[in-house]
Structure 1
Amino acid sequence: MANNTPYRLVTNLKYWLLASGGLVVGMALLYVSGLSWFEDHESFGTLANQLGGLLVASVALATLWDLVGRRSFFKEMLEVLELKQDVSASGLTGIGTDYRKIVDWDDCLHSAKRLDIFAAWATTWRNNNQVNLQQIASRNDAKIRVCLPDPTDPNCIKSLAARFNTSQNDVRGKINEAIEGYKKIDANGSATGRVEIYTTSVFRAFTAYRIDSQFVVTLYHHKDNRRGLFPALTCREGGSLFAFFEEDLEGTLDASTKVYP
């Protein structure tokens, strides 16, 4: 079978030829530096001895690098490249532990034409971005779709109450307040059609926002104390992560009940 690595063979051959030549020259310099002639020319003898020792040591170090270091470095680079390829294929553009800083929300929402919100209620996020959300809802070429839990589904309410360590009445109240809050974004509930609200009994494992061609996703943790930071990531359209969250969102919306307008 023909060898498929000719450049590698040529490179290795050049290296070993140079290394052999350097070793021969170094040994020769060490040898001649001990000849009687150099006893009368001590400075030349010292120079020849040092040059010979340097060549021999350099060849030895280079050989160790070629046999051990270069191969380890090559394997490390392969791991880095494979990771880079995985990240590129996934479309991951950012990752952190604070959804408030994972993207510039003002910049993302200011010119957004398509916004999908998949959350339990996202009261804090909605209040922080109220102005931008109203601006989006005021544009004829923009649309906001909101997918919230179903406040009339007992199992859904019970699951959310357990997740967020609160009462079922509080959960139901937060969801209803969110529904009314998102209605007000639509020109104070005038039903322009630019804001759509859906409810579903799907149990939420994360919060997701699709802003035009990117997703911002925040994960949940499962400890009793819900305070602290949460993993958050962003991904662009065209990557496998975006495709997953898009398919998941659209599938959920297809099985949801439209409650507004």
Structure 2
Amino acid sequence: MASRTPYRLVTNLKYWLLAGASAVLGMLLLWVSGLAWFDHHRSFGTLANQLGGLLIASFALATLWDLVGRRSFLAETLEILELKQDIHESGLTAIGTDYRKIVDWDDCLGSATRLDIFAAWATTWRINNQNNFERLLSRNDARIRVYLPDPTDLNCLKSMATRFNYTQTEVRNKINEAIDGYKKLDSNGAATGKVEIYTTPTFRAFTAYRIDNQFVVTLYHHNNDRRGSFPAFTCREGGSLFAFFEEDLEGVLGASTTTKLYP
């Protein structure tokens, strides 16, 4: 049966033929350098001796490379290629530990027409991007959808209070503050329909922003100290990560427990 790797076999054959020829030639030069004629031509004898030793050493190094180095290098290359393929299929475009720097928020939000916000309240992020929201909503085809925890659901409040180490009253106040803040974006309460606010008792395991054809996702700490950095990443449309978060977000929107609060 014909081999499935003919090019590899040919390459290996050429490699070993050349290596074997180099070894034979090296030993021949070492033998020749010891002939009596070279006693009277020491420079030529030294040259032949050193060249022969070099060829034999090269053969030894080439053999070690073929037996160990090349295979290790191939394994490492395959690992890199597989990782690159995984990244490509997932659609991952950036990763870091600071959501403020993971994307250029001014550029992304300033040029966007669709924004979905799935967060506990994201107060700091909302305040920092007020101008960007106004630029986004100035477009005729713009839309912002906001998904927030249900401030009337006691189980939701209890879970969020435990998650963020707040009292239930503090959690309710933060959610209501976020609701009022997003309402004010809609032409100062004119209810144009460009801003939609939904509440749901779904537990927040992460914060996600869908900005046109990409997601920006940030994770949460599990310890009581919420300070410091935490993982954040972006993914593009067409990748498996984007598909997961899109399906997850639309699933929340279509859930029977989700309520459209505004308008």
TM range (shorter): over 0.9
Q: Deviations over 1:64-106 (max 9, x none)?
A: 1001110111111111111111110000001110000000000
Secondary structure in 2 matching 1:101: coil
Q: How does 1:156-171 map to 2 (within 5 A)?
A: 156-171=156-171
Counterpart amino acid of 1:31?
Answer: W
Counterpart amino acid of 2:45?
Answer: G
Secondary structure in 1 matching 2:101: helix
Q: Show the counterpart of 1:38.
A: 38
1:138 and 2:138 aligned: yes
Q: Show the counterpart of 1:122.
A: 122
Counterpart amino acid of 2:78?
Answer: L
How many Å separate the matches in 1 of 2:21 and 2:227? 67
How many Å separate the matches in 2 of 1:45 and 1:20? 23
Q: Show the counterpart of 1:107.
A: 107
How many Å separate the matches in 2 of 1:172 and 1:189? 21
Q: Deviations over 1:146-173 (max 9, x none)?
A: 0000000000001101111011111000
Q: Show the counterpart of 2:17.
A: 17
Counterpart amino acid of 1:193?
Answer: G
How many Å separate the matches in 1 of 2:96 and 2:201? 29
Q: Show the counterpart of 1:216.
A: 216
TM-score (norm 2): 0.98
1:154 and 2:154 aligned: yes
Secondary structure in 1 matching 2:15: helix
Structure 1 runs not aligned, ≥5 long? none
Structure 2 runs not aligned, ≥5 long? none
Q: How many residues align?
A: 261
Conservation of the 8 A alpha-carbon contact between 1:119 and 1:147: yes
Secondary structure in 2 matching 1:228: coil
Following TM superposition, the consecutive aligned residue runs of length 4 or more in structure 1 with deviations greater than 2 angstroms are none
Q: Show the counterpart of 1:60.
A: 60
Q: Deviations over 1:195-222 (max 9, x none)?
A: 1000000000000000000000000111
State, as a whole percentage, how many aligned pairs show the same letter: 77
Conservation of the 8 A alpha-carbon contact between 1:197 and 1:259: yes
C-alpha RMSD of the superposition: 0.6
1:259 and 2:261 aligned: yes
Conservation of the 8 A alpha-carbon contact between 1:160 and 1:171: yes
Q: Show the counterpart of 1:177.
A: 177
1:98 and 2:98 aligned: yes
Q: How does 1:189-200 map to 2 (within 5 A)?
A: 189-200=189-200
Q: Show the counterpart of 2:242.
A: 242
Counterpart amino acid of 1:217?
Answer: V
Q: Show the counterpart of 1:81.
A: 81
How many Å separate the matches in 2 of 1:198 and 1:18? 73
TM-score (norm 1): 0.99
Q: CA deviation at 1:227?
A: 1.0
How many Å separate the matches in 1 of 2:95 and 2:155? 32
Conservation of the 8 A alpha-carbon contact between 1:137 and 1:143: yes
Q: CA deviation at 1:2?
A: 2.2
How many Å separate the matches in 1 of 2:41 and 2:153? 101
Secondary structure in 1 matching 2:260: strand
Counterpart amino acid of 1:88?
Answer: H
Conservation of the 8 A alpha-carbon contact between 1:149 and 1:156: yes
How many Å separate the matches in 2 of 1:60 and 1:173? 75
How many Å separate the matches in 1 of 2:68 and 2:243? 42
1:227 and 2:218 aligned: no
Conservation of the 8 A alpha-carbon contact between 1:138 and 1:186: no
Secondary structure in 2 matching 1:102: coil
Q: CA deviation at 1:138?
A: 2.3
Conservation of the 8 A alpha-carbon contact between 1:96 and 1:233: yes
